[in-house]
Structures are given as C-alpha cells and as structure tokens.
Amino acid sequence: MTSWRVTLPCTRSEAEALGEDISVFAALDSPPVLVTSEAEPDRPDQWRLDAYFDEKPSRSELALVVSLVPSAAGARPTAERIADQDWVTLSQQGLEPIRAGRFFVHTPAHRDAVPPGTVAFEIDAGRAFGTGQHETTTGCLIALDALKRQGAIFTDVADIGTGTGLLAFAALRLWPAARAIASDIDPVAIEVAAENAAINAVAVGRARGRVELAVAAGMDHLRLRARAPYDLVVANILAGPLIDLAPGLAGALAPGGRLILAGLLEHQAARVTAAYRRQGMMPSFRIVRGDWPTLVLRKRRRVGARR
C-alpha cells in the first residue's frame, strides 16, 4: 500500500497538544493519521510531527498540517511518498498500552497483553483524539477510578468532547446501571466512538447501561439538555472552551454532582477553576500528569448558600 508522509519539526508542548486539534481535518473524506515523536533523545524539547495520508495531499491539506504547529508558521512542507507501508499500523508502533488506575487501554497490536484483573479497552489510533496516550485522557481515567474508590455512585453521565468514546465507556464499566451520553463537535469523532463501542462490547442506546452518541458543540443539543441534570459530567476539551462552557456544564449538573475537567495546562488551572467557582462549583481534588492537570469539582448542594 502506498501512502504519503508530511513531516514538521515541533516542540514537545506542541506535540502534546496536537490531539486537541484533530477537528481541523473533519471536512476531509480521509483524514491523515498524526504521529508525534521525540526527534533527539538528548534534546527533549525537539519533537517532530508526521502526518500520514493515503493519497498525495493537496496544498490546502499541507496548509492544515502547518496550522497545527505554531512554531512552523510560514513553513512549506513537502509530501514524501512511502511505498508498501500500512500507515495505520505504523502509527500504532509507538503507542504502548496505558495503565491508568484499574484501566488498561491498548491498540490492536497489544490485544494479547491485557493484564488480569484490569478493565481493558481497545482503542485504535487514527481519526479521533482520546486513545489514552495523552496525559489529559489518562488523567480523566485516573479521576474516574479515584471517584469509584471513594464510593461515589453515578446514574446519569455525560462525556462532552468524547473523541473516541473512551471516557464514556470507562464510566459505564464503573457504574453499569448508569445512563450515559457522549457528544463531540466533530462528526468523525462520533463515527469513531460508535466503532469503538462495537469493538469493546459497549451497547449504544438511551437505556441504562448504554451510551447515547450525539454530534454537538458543548451542551448545544436537544438530547443533552433533555437528559439533564447529570450527576457526573466529564469534559476533556481545552481551557478556553472550558471557561466558555462553565455556565452550561455547571447548569447541567444536579446539586452535589461531580465535574471532571481536562485539556488545560497547569498555568491555566486557576482561571478555569475560578470560572466554575462562579457557577457554584467547588474543587474536590486534582490529578496532575506532567503539565496537564485534571480537575475534579463538586456542585454545591444549594448555590449561594452560606458556607
């Protein structure tokens, strides 16, 4: 099989944030697979981005790749033809399984490596963000595991910006009697989530023990509003959208409900937390993975009540 590779240098922070920008390819019939790697082990901030296309990319597609890397502004990358390569398999070669609490997330290449006693999910690398490789997704999995260990019980769950569907699936494994809905602004992500649900034997639908899938921007969907209030909402997006969504996400929570927020950097945590405090949300605990904190907040029983 012949494919095409576009390579750009990038910084480590740009590489870590790349998964958040996969939506720029949403309009493409065949989006590229993005692979980031450390360029030189002795220079830890120098990374590279490889974008694999199954056909020669156009100028506009090359421009989309460049747009993902701010430090490469103005660059004119070229596409290199690669013969006899399966780019999906290639993209997974560097994706080692992830252990996050009781969860074990792996690609098909590690299907036989699942440790006994773990809650395993097979998530194929490719068209949507959220394979478990990024620190934000891992942090959310650890937060879910911690809530379960604390004895929390949830019956109505929403996963906003679901990507691959992984976080909604994980919540259902922990609380199998819950109803769950997973949404994403990217229609491709919802297609991927449906595929992953089938792979992992997660039932799709509106009943308890099933996940409902919806294409939506934030809370802007009839089904998301109709199913509120929730006692658990997970949102792994970006700091800016999380701040903008604070009234909608907090408003969709029942009193006492929990909110897991990720996709922000450490220096953005104070602003994000402040936005949710104004909506009656109180910090509960946080998970920190590298520069990426995951915030867990709880809605006050009575907004505006004296402390």
pLDDT tens for the chain, 307 residues long, are 447 889 988 888 888 777 544 567 777 777 787 777 776 656 767 888 888 887 889 999 999 889 888 888 888 888 888 764 544 444 444 457 888 999 999 988 888 889 999 999 998 765 444 444 468 889 999 999 999 999 999 999 999 999 899 999 999 999 999 999 999 998 988 999 999 999 999 999 999 999 999 999 889 899 999 999 999 999 998 888 999 999 999 999 999 999 999 988 888 999 999 999 999 999 999 999 878 899 999 999 864 444 4
Q: What is the torsion angle, in degrees rounded to the nearest 10, for the CA atoms of residue 191, residue 265, residue 48 and residue 105?
A: -50
**pLDDT at position 83:** 61
Is the bond preceding 108 in cis, omega lying within 30 degrees of 0? no
Measuring CA to CA, which residue among 275, 258, 161, 163 is closest to residue 218? 161
What architecture (CATH level 2) is domain 124-299? 3-Layer(aba) Sandwich (3.40)
Task: Choose the CATH number for 3-92 among 3.30.70, 1.10.3470, 3.30.1120, 3.90.980.
Answer: 3.30.70
Domain ranges of the chain: 3-92, 124-299
What angle is formed at CA 226 by the lines to CA 274 and CA 234, rounded to 5 degrees? 40
Residue 5: per-residue pLDDT: 87
pLDDT of amino acid 76 = 84
H-run or E-run covering 63: helix 59-67
- Residue carrying the six token digits 């999380």: 242
What distance in Å separates the CA atoms of residue 249 and residue 204, rounded to the nearest whole number?
Answer: 23
CA nearest to 66, candidates 55, 52, 76? 76
